[in-house]
C-alpha cells in the first residue's frame, strides 16, 4: 500500500470522465481513497489526521449503488460515484457529527444537512467526516478536541482552520473533493496554507440547514478541492435555494463550470481588478507578498486592468467580527446542555438540572469555545449591547458600503488569502490574538456576505510553503471567482509545469 | 410568612390600582411556528417533534405564514398598527423545556403595536390600551414527578414533553391600565373575556382557557391615592379562568395594601395563583439581574407584510364587538335590562351560537341566563364551562317545542347533560322523561282527578276557569310531570263541555 494508486492524484472532473468512460468504477475509486486514508491519515498522535470518522462500509455501499445506476444508465449527476469528505460540522444521518467537540461525542444526527442530502442524492459516496477546530473556532485545527490535523506539506505545521481536516484530506489525496464551511476564512485560509482551492460562496447561495451554526449571519458552506473546475462542479451541485433555510436566496445557481472553463482559456481582457490597499504591510510575510505581487502581474499579462482600491473600514473588520461572532455563538451553543443529546456529566449527590448543565458544559467545551461564549454573553448583556453588538453591526454596514463602493470601480478585489504560510503547530495556541490575525484578509467577505476564493499562488521563498491568492466578487457574482481563479490556476500551473501539489513531499505512511 | 390582607373597601379608600395584562394566545395553525410538525393538542409525549422544534444542532426555523396572518388579524382587531418590517429575536435563558435554551420571540420590533380595546363593566366603558402583540414560540411542558404538589421543589425527577415546543403564540401586552378603582378586578376579567371573544370571533385559536390555549399573566401595583407614580408590581402567572383573573386581582390588591400599609415594600416578583382559595404565592424573584440578552434572530429574514396584504386581512375581520352587541340586541328584541344580564353573564356568544342552531332568542336567553347561569355559579365556573354546549341547549329547546318534553323536564335533561349521561334524547330515554303523548293514559288520569275532586269539576262547569289548575296539577302529579299541561287542559275542557 505504500505506492499510492495513480487514481487518487486525478481531479474530480477527471475521475468523473473516467467513470463515464468505464475506465474505473465508483467502488474502485472509493476503495483507493479509503486505502489512502488508511495509509496516511494516522490518528491524533501521528499522520495527517484529517478524518475524525471514516465510513468504509457506508461509502462502499453508496459506491456500489452508483455503479449499479451507471450500469443501468441512470446516473444522476456528473459527479455520481466520485467520493467526497464532509466537514464534521455538517449533520449526516447515521454518521457521527461531533463538530470537533467532546460535548457532541457519540451524537449521530437523525437527519441530513441539505448539502449532504444533495451530494447523497447526486450519488457521491461519503468517505467520512473531517477534523476541525471545535465548533469551527480557530485557524489551525489545533482546537479540535480530538487532536490536531497536520499539514501534508510539513507535518509539524498547521493545516489552517477551522477546516484543516477538509483541506488536508484533499491536499493529501485522501479525497478528491470535500465540503467545508467558512465563517471568517475557514475554507479559504486552510486552502491557502495547504496549496488547495477553497470557495466561500455568497451568503445565502448555499443552504445552511444542517450546518451546526458557529455564527449564523457569517457561516457559509462551500467546496474544498484541488482545482477551480472541481470547486465549480461541486458548487453547482450544492448551491441553490432551500426552503428549509430562510436566509438562502431564491435565485438560480450561477454557471460556475462554464465560468471556470472560460477562465482557463487565460483571457481576462477588460476585467477590472482592485488590489485592496489595507491588506498589506506590517505582519505580512515577505514571501507571501512576493507571490501575491507576481500573481497580480500575471493578471495584467492576461489582460486585466489592475488598480489599487482603498477599503478604509477593513481595518475594523477583525474587531467587528470578534463581537458579532461570539454574540451569535454564545446563543447558538446554549443548546448543548446535556438534556437531550451529547455528553452528560452528572455531579455527585442529587444535582439539579442546572448543576448537570453547568458540569456538562464545563467538561464538554474547550477553552477557545468558553472564551467566545463569555465574550459573546458580555457583548449582548443589557447595558453593553449598544456599545458592543449594536456598534459592531453598524461597522458591519460600513464594511459592506466599502465593498459596494469598490465594486462600482472594479469587477473583483484581490489580496493574499492569509498573512503567513503555515506556522508550526503550537506556535500561536497560547496567543489568541495572533491566531485571530490569520483571518485578517478573509473576514471582510463574511461580514459583507460577498463570495471569495483562494487559489494557490506558489510557494513562499523563505519556507517553501504554499501561498494563497484571494479573489473577492460582489454578492451573487460567484461566477467571477471561477473565471479569475481558473485563469490564475491555468497560467501558474503551466508556469510550474504541473499542479502545485506535485511539489508537496510524498507522505510517509503512518503506522 | 402569612400575608396581611386588607379588606377590599379599605384598599380602595387608600390606594389606586394599576393593572397590566399579558395574554398568551396559542394559535390553531395546522403546523408549528417554525417547522412542519402538527400543532395539535394532546398527542403522545414527544411524538410531534422534528430536528427544528427539538433544537437539534444544525436545524433551522422557517416562519409559518399562517401564524403571521393570524397575528396580523389579531393586531388589526385590537386596532393596532401593523409593522411594515419586523424581526424575530432570541430571548436567551436556560431551562430544560426550552430546546435551544433561547426562545424565538419578538423584542423591540413587534408585528403589531399601539392599539386599544374597549370593555364595558357595569355600564361604564374602559379603553384598554394595547402596547403590542407579538409572535413567539411556546416552550415544551415539564412535569415534575414525585413530591407533594407537582412543583419542581421536592420532585424526584422531571419529564419534558416537547410536543408543545414551537406551537405559535401571540402575546398581547397592555399598557398600564389606570383609573379603574374598585372596578379593577372586574375590568381585568372583562378585558380577558373580551380578548377571548375576539379570538373566538377571529377563529385563530381554540380559545380554551382550561387547556391553556389562552393564558393570562396579571400584573398589579398599587399607588397611594392621587399619586402619579406607579408602585412596584407583582406578576401573577398563568391565571387560567376569567373568574380566577378577577380573584387574583382582588387578592393581590389586598396583599399589596397589607404590605404598603405596614410601611413595607412590595417585591417585584412572579407569583403563582391557587385556584382552591384564590390566593397567590411567591414564585421566583424577578430582579434586574435577569438579562435575556435579546438580539435579532440571524436564522430568519425580516417579516415585511405588504400593505395590500394587511388591507386584505382587514377585510376579513369579524364585526366590531360593540356594534355587534347593539345589532344582536335589536335582532333578538332583548330589553336593556335583559341585555345587561346577558352581558354580565358572559352569555351573548353562547346565545348567539344557540340561536344559530334554530332556537328562539328568548328561549336561548332563558336557558343560559336563568337556568344554566345558576348552575355555573353553584359550581364556581364560567358559564361557558358549565358543561352544556349551545348545540345541546338548542336540541333541548327543540324537544320542548316538539312537546316531547316540557320546561320542567328540560331541567332534568340539563342535569343529565352536566352529568355526562349522553345526548338529550339518550337522557330522556334512560331517565324515562318523555311526555305522555298518548291521550289514553291522560284521560284515565283526568277521570281519576275529576272523581277525586267533584267540587272542582262543578266549578269548572260553572265557568270558573281558574279552578282547572287543580285538575291539571293532579294529572301532572299522577304522570310524574310527564304530561303536556296544555293538552291536559284541552282534554279536561272537552270532557266537561
Mean pLDDT, rounded, for A16-23? 97
A-chain residues near B295 (CB < 8 A): 327-328, 331, 380, 385, 389
Q: Are residues B86 and B215 in the same domain?
A: yes
In this prediction, residue A400 carries a pLDDT of: 98
Residue B326: is its pLDDT beyond 80? yes
pLDDT score of B480: 79
Average pLDDT over residues B384-412: 89
Cβ–Cβ of B59/A382 closer than 8 Å?
no
State the pLDDT at residue B402: 86
CB A37 within 8 A of CB A174: yes
Tell me which of B431, B459, B479 is where a domain ends. B431
- Higher pLDDT: A123 or B288? It is A123
* pLDDT the model gives residue B148: 64
Mean pLDDT, residues A444-463 taken together: 98
Query: Which pTM value belongs to this model?
Result: 0.87
Q: What is the mean pLDDT of residues B352-381?
A: 91
> How many angstroms separate the CA of residue B95 from the nearest CA in chain A?
8
Are B462 and B372 members of one domain? no
Q: What part of A 330-359 touches B (C-beta under 8 Å)?
A: 330-331, 334-337, 339-341, 353-354, 357
Q: What is the mean pLDDT of residues A203-215?
A: 98
What's the pLDDT score for residue B481?
A: 79
Asked whether the beta carbons of A190 and A455 are under 8 A apart, the reply is no
Mean pLDDT over each residue of chain A, to the nearest integer: 96
Whole-number Å distance between alpha carbons of B438 and A349: 79
Between chains, do B299 and A357 touch, taking CB under 8 Å as contact?
no
Same domain, B290 and B411: no
Contact of A287 with A461, CB cutoff 8 Å: yes
Cell of B275: 385556584
Choose among B58, B100, B102: nearest Cβ to A113. Answer: B58
| B282 lies in some domain | yes
Has residue A304 got a pLDDT over 50? yes
* pLDDT at residue B288 tops 60: no
Q: Are residues B401 and B468 in the same domain?
A: no
Stretch among A46-50, A350-354, B393-397 having the lowest mean pLDDT? A350-354
What does the DSSP 8-state code read for residue A303?
Answer: T
* A236/B317 Cα distance (integer angstroms): 47
Contact B119, B192 (CB under 8 A): no
B252: which DSSP letter?
H
**Residue B413 sits in the same domain as residue B473:** no
Q: How close is the nearest chain B Cα to the Cα of A391, in Å?
A: 13
Reported ipTM: the value is: 0.95
CA distance B400 to A359: 70
- Looking at the structure, do residues B135 and B282 belong to the same domain, yes or no? yes
Give chain B's mean pLDDT. Answer: 91
Q: Is B330 inside any structural domain?
A: yes
Q: Which tops the pLDDT comparison, B152 or B11?
A: B11
Quote the minimal CA–CA distance from A385 to chain B in Å.
Answer: 8
- As given in the structure block, the three cell numbers for residue A337 are 446542555
Please compute the mean of the pLDDT values over residues A416-439 and round it to a whole number.
94
Q: A212 to chain B: which residues are within 8 Å by CB?
A: 57-58
B58/A91 Cβ within 8 A: yes
Q: How far apart are CA B416 and CA B412, in angstroms?
A: 6
Q: Do A337 and B94 touch (CB under 8 A)?
A: yes
* Predicted pLDDT of residue B154: 73
The full set of domains in chain A, from first to last, is 6-309+405-424+450-503 (3.90.1300.10), 314-400 (no CATH)
DSSP H/E element including B342 = helix B336-344
H/E element, A341: none
Does B58 contact A210 at a Cβ distance shorter than 8 Å?
A: yes
Task: Specify if B3 maps to a domain.
Answer: no
B421 or A206: which leads in pLDDT: A206
For residue B2, is it within any domain? Answer: no
Mean pLDDT of A254-279: 97
A184 pLDDT exceeds 50?
Answer: yes
Judged by CB atoms closer than 8 Å, whether chains meet at B58 and A337 is answered as no
Q: Please check whether residue A221 is in contact with residue A180, taking contact to mean a CB–CB distance below 8 angstroms.
A: yes
Best of B45, B49, B53, B57 to substitute, by most chain A Cβ atoms within 10 angstroms, is B57
Give the number of residues written for chain B: 497
- For residue A301, give every residue at least 6 positions away whose Cβ sits within 8 Å of its Cβ, in sequence order, or none: A491
Identify the CATH number of the domain in which residue B447 sits: 1.10.10
Q: List CB contacts (< 8 A) between A107 and chain B.
A: 57
Report percent pLDDT > 70 for chain B: 97
**Is B183:B120 a contact under the CB 8 Å cutoff?**
no
DSSP letters, A200-244, are EPPTTSB--TTB--SSTTT--EEEEESSHHHHHHHHHHHBS--TT
Strand B141-145 with B15-26, pairing:
unpaired
Question: If pLDDT is split at 50, 70 and 90, which confidence band does B490 have?
Answer: confident
Question: Quick one: cell of A43?
Answer: 490518528
The answer to whether B63 contacts A243, with C-beta atoms less than 8 Å apart, is no
User: Does position A509 have pLDDT exceeding 60, yes or no?
Assistant: no
* Dihedral angle computed from the Cα positions of residues B50, B53, B58 and B61, in that order, rounded to the nearest 10 degrees: 110
Most confident of B2-6, B269-273, B489-493: B269-273
Residues B179 and B224 in one domain: yes
| pLDDT above 60 (res A34) | yes
Q: What mean pLDDT do residues B100-119 have?
A: 96
Whether residue B1 is contained in a domain is answered as no
Q: How confident is the model at residue A510 (pLDDT cuts 50, 70, 90)?
A: very low
Closest CA to A36 of A4, A58, A14: A4
Residue A365 has pLDDT above 70, yes or no: yes
Q: What is the pLDDT of residues B411-425, one digit of tens each?
A: 989 999 998 888 998
Same domain, B384 and B305: no
User: What pLDDT shows up at residue B149?
Assistant: 63
pLDDT digits (tens, 9 = 90+) for A70-112: 999 999 999 999 999 999 999 999 999 999 999 999 999 999 9
Last residue of a domain, one of B313, B334, B361: B313
Distance, CA of B207 to CA of B211 (rounded, Å): 9
Q: Which of B376, B404, B431 represents a domain boundary (last residue)?
A: B431
Residue B254 lies in a domain: yes
Distant-in-sequence, close-in-space partners of A112: CB < 8 Å, separation ≥ 6: A91, A92, A93, A120, A210
Q: Are the CB atoms for B169 and B91 separated by under 8 Å?
A: no
Are the Cβ atoms of A334 and B160 closer than 8 angstroms? no
Which residues of chain A are within 8 Å of residue B293 when distances are taken between CB atoms? 330-331, 377, 380-382, 385
- Asked if the C-beta of A107 comes within 8 angstroms of chain B's C-beta atoms, the answer is yes
The total domain count for chain B is 3
* Residue A511: predicted pLDDT: 41
pLDDT tens sequence across B57-103: 999 999 999 999 999 999 999 999 999 999 999 999 999 999 999 99
What pLDDT digit, counting tens, does each position of A366-415 carry?
999 999 999 999 999 988 999 999 999 999 999 999 999 999 999 999 99
Better-scored residue on pLDDT, B295 or B378: B295
Rounded Cα distance between A462 and A476, Å, is: 37
Q: Is residue B187 part of a domain?
A: yes
- Residue B464 and residue B421 share a domain: no
Active site residues of A: 87, 162, 186
User: Do B306 and B361 fall within a single domain?
Assistant: no
Nearest-neighbour CA in chain A from B305: distance (Å):
16
The reply to whether B426 and B448 lie within a common domain is no
Q: Is the CB of A340 less than 8 angstroms away from the CB of B293? A: no
Q: Are residues B374 and B463 in the same domain?
A: no
Average pLDDT rounded to a whole number, residues A203-232: 98
Does residue B448 have a cis peptide bond before it, meaning omega lies within 30 degrees of 0? no
| Residue B121, C-alpha cell as written in the block | 363593566
Position B404 pLDDT exceeds 90:
no
B111: in domain = yes
* Inter-chain touch A109–B92, beta carbons under 8 Å: no
Q: Is it the case that residue A128 has pLDDT exceeding 50?
A: yes
Chain A's closest residue to B288, CA to CA, is A382
A327 at B interface, C-beta within 8 A: yes
- State what percent of residues in chain B have pLDDT above 90: 61
Report which of residues B322 and B214 the model is more confident about.
B214
What is the rounded distance in angstroms from the CA atom of residue A454 to the CA atom of residue A190?
9
Domain that holds residue B445: 439-496
pLDDT (mean) for B441-470 = 84
pLDDT score for B1: 57
More confident residue, B238 or A114: A114
Among A334, A338, A344, A396, the strongest candidate for a mutation testing the B interface, having the largest count of B CBs within 10 A, is A334
Q: Hey, of A204, A246, A329, A383, which one would you mutate to test binding to chain B, going by the most B CBs within 10 A of its CB?
A: A246
Q: What is the pLDDT of residue A1?
A: 38
Asked if residue A315 has pLDDT above 50, the reply is yes
* pLDDT at residue number A396: 98
Average pLDDT over residues A202-229: 98
Amino acid at each position: 500500500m505504500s505506492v499510492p494508486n495513480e487514481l487518487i492524484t486525478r481531479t474530480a472532473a477527471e475521475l468523473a470522465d473516467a467513470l463515464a468512460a468505464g475506465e474505473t468504477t465508483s467502488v474502485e475509486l472509493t476503495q483507493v481513497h479509503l486505502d489512502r486514508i488508511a495509509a496516511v491519515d494516522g490518528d491524533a498522535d501521528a499522520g495527517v489526521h484529517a478524518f475524525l470518522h471514516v465510513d468504509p462500509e457506508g461509502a462502499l455501499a453508496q459506491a456500489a449503488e452508483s455503479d449499479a445506476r451507471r450500469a443501468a444508465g441512470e446516473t444522476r449527476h456528473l459527479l455520481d460515484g466520485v467520493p467526497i469528505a464532509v466537514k464534521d460540522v455538517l449533520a449526516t444521518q447515521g454518521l457521527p457529527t461531533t463538530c470537533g467537540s467532546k460535548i457532541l461525542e457519540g451524537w449521530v444526527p437523525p437527519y441530513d444537512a441539505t448539502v449532504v442530502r444533495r451530494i447523497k442524492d447526486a450519488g457521491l459516496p461519503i468517505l467520512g467526516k473531517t477534523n476541525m477546530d471545535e465548533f469551527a473556532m480557530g485557524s489551525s485545527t489545533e482546537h479540535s478536541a480530538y487532536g490536531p490535523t497536520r499539514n501534508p506539506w510539513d507535518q509539524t505545521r498547521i493545516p489552517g482552520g477551522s477546516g484543516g481536516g477538509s483541506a488536508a484530506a484533499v491536499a493529501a489525496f485522501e479525497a478528491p473533493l470535500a465540503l467545508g464551511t467558512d465563517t471568517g476564512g475557514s475554507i479559504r485560509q486552510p486552502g491557502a496554507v495547504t496549496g488547495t482551492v477553497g470557495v466561500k460562496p455568497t451568503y445565502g447561495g448555499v443552504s445552511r440547514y444542517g450546518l451546526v451554526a458557529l455564527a449564523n449571519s457569517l457561516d457559509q458552506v462551500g467546496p474544498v478541492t484541488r482545482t477551480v473546475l472541481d470547486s465549480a462542479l461541486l458548487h453547482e451541485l450544492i448551491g441553490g435555494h432551500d426552503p428549509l433555510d430562510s436566509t438562502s436566496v431564491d435565485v438560480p445557481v450561477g454557471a460556475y463550470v462554464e465560468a471556470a472553463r472560460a477562465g482557463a482559456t487565460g483571457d481576462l481582457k477588460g476585467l477590472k481588478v482592485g488590489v485592496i490597499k489595507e491588506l498589506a504591510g506590517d505582519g505580512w510575510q515577505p514571501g507571501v507578498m512576493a507571490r501575491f505581487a507576481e500573481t497580480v502581474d500575471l493578471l495584467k499579462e492576461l489582460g486585466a486592468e489592475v488598480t489599487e482600491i482603498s477599503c478604509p473600514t477593513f481595518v475594523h473588520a477583525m474587531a467587528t467580527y470578534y463581537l458579532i461572532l461570539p454574540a451569535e455563538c454564545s446563543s447558538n451553543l446554549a443548546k448543548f446542555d446535556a438534556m437531550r443529546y451529547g455528553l452528560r456529566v452528572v455531579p455527585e449527590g442529587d444535582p439539579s438540572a442546572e448543576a448537570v448543565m453547568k458540569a456538562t458544559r464545563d467538561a464538554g467545551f474547550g477553552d477557545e469555545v468558553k472564551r467566545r461564549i463569555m465574550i459573546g454573553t458580555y457583548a449582548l448583556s443589557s447595558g453593553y449591547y449598544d456599545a458592543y453588538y449594536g456598534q459592531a453591526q453598524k461597522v458591519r454596514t460600513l464594511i459592506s458600503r466599502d465593498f459596494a463602493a469598490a465594486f462600482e470601480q472594479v469587477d473583483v478585489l484581490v489580496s493574499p488569502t492569509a498573512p503567513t504560510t503555515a506556522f508550526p503547530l503550537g506556535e500561536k495556541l497560547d496567543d489568541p490574538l495572533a491566531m485571530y490575525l490569520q483571518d485578517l484578509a478573509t473576514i471582510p467577505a463574511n461580514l459583507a456576505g460577498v463570495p471569495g476564493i483562494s487559489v494557490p499562488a506558489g510557494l513562499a521563498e523563505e519556507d517553501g510553503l504554499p501561498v494563497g491568492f484571494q479573489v473577492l466578487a460582489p454578492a451573487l457574482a460567484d461566477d467571477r471567482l471561477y473565471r479569475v481563479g481558473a485563469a490564475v490556476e491555468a497560467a501558474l500551473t503551466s508556469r510550474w509545469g504541473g499542479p502545485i501539489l506535485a511539489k508537496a513531499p510524498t507522505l510517509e505512511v503512518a503506522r | 410568612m402569612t400575608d396581611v390582607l386588607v379588606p377590599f373597601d379599605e384598599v380602595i379608600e387608600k390606594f389606586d390600582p394599576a393593572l397590566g395584562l399579558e395574554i398568551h394566545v396559542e394559535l390553531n395553525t395546522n403546523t408549528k411556528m417554525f417547522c412542519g410538525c402538527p400543532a395539535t393538542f394532546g398527542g403522545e409525549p414527544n411524538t410531534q417533534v422534528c430536528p427544528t422544534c427539538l433544537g437539534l444542532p444544525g436545524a433551522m426555523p422557517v416562519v409559518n405564514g399562517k401564524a403571521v396572518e393570524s397575528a396580523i388579524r389579531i393586531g388589526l382587531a385590537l386596532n393596532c398598527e401593523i409593522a411594515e418590517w419586523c424581526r424575530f429575536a432570541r430571548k436567551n435563558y436556560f431551562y430544560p423545556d426550552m430546546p435551544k435554551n433561547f426562545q424565538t420571540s419578538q423584542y423591540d420590533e413587534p408585528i403589531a403595536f399601539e392599539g386599544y380595546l374597549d370593555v364595558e363593566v357595569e355600564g361604564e366603558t374602559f379603553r384598554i390600551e394595547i402596547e403590542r402583540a407579538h409572535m413567539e414560540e411556546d416552550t415544551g411542558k415539564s412535569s415534575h414527578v414525585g413530591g407533594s404538589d407537582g412543583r419542581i421543589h421536592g420532585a424526584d425527577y422531571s419529564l419534558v414533553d416537547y410536543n408543545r415546543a414551537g406551537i405559535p403564540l401571540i402575546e398581547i401586552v397592555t399598557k398600564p391600565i389606570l383609573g379603574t378603582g374598585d372596578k379593577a378586578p372586574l375590568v381585568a376579567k372583562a378585558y380577558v373575556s373580551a380578548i377571548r371573544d375576539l379570538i373566538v370571533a377571529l377563529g385563530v385559536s381554540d380559545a380554551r382557557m382550561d387547556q391553556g390555549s389562552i393564558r393570562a399573566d396579571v400584573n398589579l401595583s398599587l399607588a397611594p391615592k392621587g399619586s402619579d407614580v406607579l408602585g412596584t408590581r407583582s406578576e401573577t402567572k398563568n391565571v387560567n379562568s376569567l373568574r380566577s383573573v378577577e380573584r387574583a386581582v382582588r387578592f393581590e390588591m389586598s396583599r399589596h395594601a397589607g404590605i404598603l400599609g405596614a410601611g413595607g415594600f412590595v417585591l417585584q416578583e412572579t407569583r403563582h395563583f391557587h385556584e382552591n382559595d384564590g390566593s397567590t404565592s411567591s414564585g421566583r424573584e424577578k430582579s434586574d439581574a435577569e438579562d435575556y440578552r435579546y438580539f435579532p434572530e440571524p436564522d430568519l429574514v425580516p417579516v415585511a407584510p405588504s400593505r395590500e396584504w394587511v388591507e386584505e386581512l382587514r377585510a376579513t375581520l369579524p364585526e366590531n364587538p360593540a356594534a355587534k352587541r347593539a345589532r344582536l340586541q335589536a335582532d333578538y328584541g332583548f330589553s336593556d335590562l335583559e341585555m345587561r344580564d346577558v352581558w354580565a353573564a358572559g352569555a351573548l356568544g353562547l346565545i348567539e351560537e344557540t340561536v344559530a342552531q334554530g332556537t328562539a332568542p328568548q328561549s336561548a336567553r332563558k336557558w343560559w341566563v336563568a337556568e344554566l347561569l345558576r348552575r355555573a355559579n353553584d359550581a364556581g365556573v364560567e358559564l361557558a364551562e358549565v358543561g352544556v354546549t349551545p348545540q345541546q341547549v338548542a336540541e333541548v329547546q327543540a324537544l320542548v317545542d316538539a312537546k316531547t318534553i316540557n320546561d320542567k323536564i328540560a331541567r332534568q335533561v340539563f342535569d343529565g347533560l352536566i352529568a355526562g349521561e349522553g345526548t338529550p334524547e339518550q337522557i330522556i330515554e334512560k331517565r324515562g322523561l318523555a311526555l305522555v303523548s298518548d291521550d289514553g293514559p291522560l284521560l284515565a288520569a283526568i277521570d281519576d282527578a275529576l272523581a277525586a275532586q267533584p267540587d272542582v269539576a262543578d266549578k269548572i262547569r260553572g265557568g270558573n276557569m281558574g279552578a282547572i289548575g287543580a285538575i291539571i296539577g293532579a294529572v301532572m302529579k299522577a304522570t310524574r310531570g310527564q304530561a303536556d299541561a296544555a293538552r291536559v287542559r284541552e282534554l279536561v275542557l272537552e270532557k266537561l263541555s
